Amino acid sequence: MSEETQWDLEIVPTSGLFELNWRELWQYRDLIALFVRRDIVATYKQTILGPIWFFVQPILTTLTYVVIFGNVAGISTGGIPKILFYLAGVTLWNYFQECLVKTSDTFILNQNLFGKVYFPRLAAPISIVISNLFKFFIQLSLFLCIWLYYIAQSEGGVKPNDTILLFPIYILLMSGLGFSFGVLISSLTTKYRDLRFLIQFGIQLLMYGTPIVYPLSIAPEKYRWLLLANPITSVVEAFKYSFLGEGYFSWGGLGYSFGFMVICLLLSILVFNRVEKTFMDTV
């Protein structure tokens, strides 16, 4: 190639370990919106019930928890109606789980698309986090309907408080943790495919290590620090405390979750930038 040759556009990988071209992501916002629409439509396309599945899943899961953990195992819910207690945890957990699982597969599932056309690779996982908000708010509406019913009945010990105003922060933390975990795993699975088989198993372990089907208060004091070391614990407990009046709320705990999210996000960006330069040669 002669020295006089000049390109109109030259695409090169990011050079800094923590460098991300946020301006470029903003320029491709229309593509992100297209991915969001694709994810929403494709999920339940050609299904009989369609979006109704958004309600069926949390209802069946909650009823299962009520029977197994509430009735058979007899685990206390701190005076909160069982269906409301479990649905609160399931609603928040499902959003985190969907963000993590679907984001962790994004680079492998889109490898054919990545090999044909250029666009910021993070556009795909970002669209997954946004599209999952659609499902989350549908499931949240189910929770709010049952929640309002118990409040109207003035029974069941449901006592919402002012911390309910922190709800957007809870969503930010759950989406940030799911996104950062997912991008980190997705970057690693481009080379180490075995990690894909551990994701579902790890998700199940993480769920039981989070107070979803039990309140934090019933955990023995000597083991409680292990549950609080889980960054999701403080968010789930704060969510339950805000809406139900039963749970563990701590500014320090939320600060720990935020700090954990930031560190994990920086780590995922570091690994992503290292892998992005060669990942098309390894997937």
**Is 190 within the bounds of a domain?**
yes
Question: Is 9 a domain residue?
Answer: no
Assigned domain for 1 exists = no
Say if residue 175's pLDDT is above 90.
yes
Q: Could you write out the DSSP letters of every residue in the chain?
A: --TT---S-------STT---HHHHHHTHHHHHHHHHHHHHHHTTT-SSGGGHHHHHHHHHHHHHIIIIIIIS----TTS-HHHHHHHHHHHHHHHHHHHHHHHTHHHHTHHHHTTS---TTHHHHHHHHHHHHHHHHHHHHHHHHHHHHHHHT-TT----GGGGGHHHHHHHHHHHHHHHHHHHHHHHTT-TTHHHHHHHHHHHHHHTTTTSS-GGGS-HHHHHHHHHSHHHHHHHHHHHHHHS-S---HHHHHHHHHHHHHHHHHHHHHHHHHHTTHHHH-
Q: Assess if residue 14 is contained within a domain.
A: no
**Which of 89-98, 187-196, 207-216 bottoms out in mean pLDDT, i.e. has the lowest?**
187-196
Which candidate, 270, 283, 280, places its Cα nearest to that of 117?
280
pLDDT-derived band of residue 242, with 50, 70 and 90 as boundaries? very high
Say which residue, 20 or 269, is predicted with more confidence. 269
> CA nearest 99: which of 175, 191, 19?
175
What gap in Å lies between CA 205 and CA 210, rounded to an integer?
9
Nearest one of 99, 131, 96, 127 to 235, comparing CA atoms = 96
| Residue 13 confidence (pLDDT) | 53
The pLDDT score that the predictor gives to residue 8 is: 65
Q: Say whether pLDDT at 249 is over 70.
A: yes
Residue 3 lies in a domain: no
Residue-wise pLDDT tens digits, 96-142:
998 998 888 777 777 777 777 777 778 888 888 999 998 899 899 99
**What is the band of 50 on the pLDDT scale with cuts at 50, 70, 90?**
low
Output the pLDDT for position 140: 93
pLDDT higher at 253 or 120: 253
Full residue range of the structural domain in which residue 278 is found: 24-282
Residue 95 lies in a domain: yes
The reply to whether 213 falls in a domain is: yes
Mean of the per-residue pLDDT values of the chain: 83
User: pLDDT tens digit string along 10-27?
Assistant: 555 554 545 566 777 788
Of 66, 60, 139, whose CA–CA distance to 147 is shortest? 139
Mark 62-98 as b/e (b = at least 16 C-beta within 10 Å): beebbeebbeeeebebbebbbbbbbbbbbbbbbbbbb
228 Cβ neighbours under 8 A, 6+ residues apart: 216, 234, 253, 256
Give a yes or no: residue 18 inside a domain.
no
Number of domains in the chain: 1
Between CA 128 and CA 123 the distance in angstroms is 9
Answer whether residue 163 shows pLDDT above 80: yes
What pTM does this model have?
0.85
